[in-house]
Chain A
């Protein structure tokens, strides 16, 4: 185990203050960071040293211990000691239960990204400060793995998955069921009445599996309601057109209106104008999570004028016109 001069690695003096150390670390890290030097193992080793030096010098407690150790080591060296048989006994590992080490890049994912499975710490560091548990506290009393860093498999939650499902407006109105296949298993999904495009349905625990005993992620189904040529949807309200022939519009009567739950007959009052809109209360879409409440359906009258007239009809329309001109 070689003695490491952390001050030398960061290029700072022994009495450098926290700010100086931080500045030096950032400057060195920017140069040697694995994110900036992909695949360069030399830079990676250099970065590990820099990170390790910063880990120790930025923490007053560790720095103090390191300084004390440095004096003892130098004394021992002066007395002619060989690096192989230095007595680590009084220095090693800290208190039982493991000293907690917070690395700059301490999440397991970061360590994996940066160093693969290799240890980010030297034997020297491990001897002095103990092993470390991937950014979190090591399980109590587990002791330190000698001669290297051992990754503690931490329970990790599985990934969340997202999947789009397309439904028709009728399905959105009544609610629907879908069967999905995932890893050879069938999942039945209930789509609630009132679902709209963008509604997300969460299926707890149906996402990716967790690692090391972590819980599974969730599966999200994102609903897309297919366009319906008959209706325009606006929240829980629907808009549609209703064709009314000229005679019904003028004289009154009944007209057929489509609703998502089937056609209904609408009473058309005498003298209805083209473009006039009728509100059919409660005939719109159910509200999500309150399916007993419905929006309204707005039906806009589209009066149909006769295109071809029989001679007899033509004659009658003619006399109607004469009559209205006389009256005015």
Chain B
């Protein structure tokens, strides 16, 4: 038997099963969202919030195409907001 002292680093990755449990989706649904590009594999801690967001939005009767639009616009809004904060800070200083 070979003994190895390989010290490995552990990344913050969530298994699909765990992501499904923690976002209250089924494994199949999580895989479908990954396939559709709503989140990317490997799934990380940050992706869980997105998965839950997708679930809530579909719960409002929005279809996946609509969810994609919402997520895209959200990212734009967040980027704009960050820029506004940055500019405000510049004015204040």
Stretch among A75-83, A147-155, A178-186 lining the B interface: A178-186
* Contact of A161 with B4 in the complex, beta carbons under 8 Å: no
* Bound Cα distance A214, B56 (Å): 25
Residue count of chain B within 8 Å CB distance of chain A:
37
With a CB–CB cut-off of 8 A, which chain B residues contact A38?
74, 77-78, 81
* Contact of B8 with A165 in the complex, beta carbons under 8 Å: yes
**Which of the residues B4, B5, B8, B61 comes within 8 Å of A176, measured between beta carbons?**
B4
* Contact of A105 with B56 in the complex, beta carbons under 8 Å: yes
* Bound Cα distance A35, B17 (Å): 24
Interface SS of chain A: mixed
Given A29-B60, A162-B15, A162-B42, the answer on whether A35 and B2 have CB atoms closer than 8 Å is no
Given A38-B78, A113-B52, the answer on whether A159 and B4 have CB atoms closer than 8 Å is no
Decide yes or no whether A33 CB sits under 8 A from chain B.
Answer: yes
* Contact of A109 with B22 in the complex, beta carbons under 8 Å: yes
13 more CB-based (< 8 A) A-B contacts, given A39-B78, A110-B56, A159-B22? A35-B70, A38-B77, A105-B56, A160-B17, A161-B11, A162-B13, A163-B9, A163-B10, A175-B1, A176-B4, A180-B6, A181-B8, A217-B18
* Contact of B4 with A177 in the complex, beta carbons under 8 Å: yes
Interface SS of chain B: mixed
Which B residues lie at the A interface, using CB under 8 A?
1-15, 17-18, 22-24, 42, 45, 48-49, 52-53, 56-57, 59-62, 70, 74, 77-78, 81
Decide yes or no whether A36 CB sits under 8 A from chain B.
Answer: yes
What sequence of 0s and 1s flags, for each residue 54-85 of chain A, a beta carbon within 8 Å of any chain B beta carbon?
00000000000000000000000000000000
* Contact of B24 with A159 in the complex, beta carbons under 8 Å: no
Residue count of chain A within 8 Å CB distance of chain B:
35
Kindly provide the distance from the CB of A24 to the nearest chain B CB, expressed in whole angstroms: 13
* Bound Cα distance A104, B11 (Å): 33
Given A30-B62, A33-B60, A35-B56, the answer on whether A180 and B2 have CB atoms closer than 8 Å is no
**Which of the residues B42, B45, B70 comes within 8 Å of A159, measured between beta carbons?**
B45
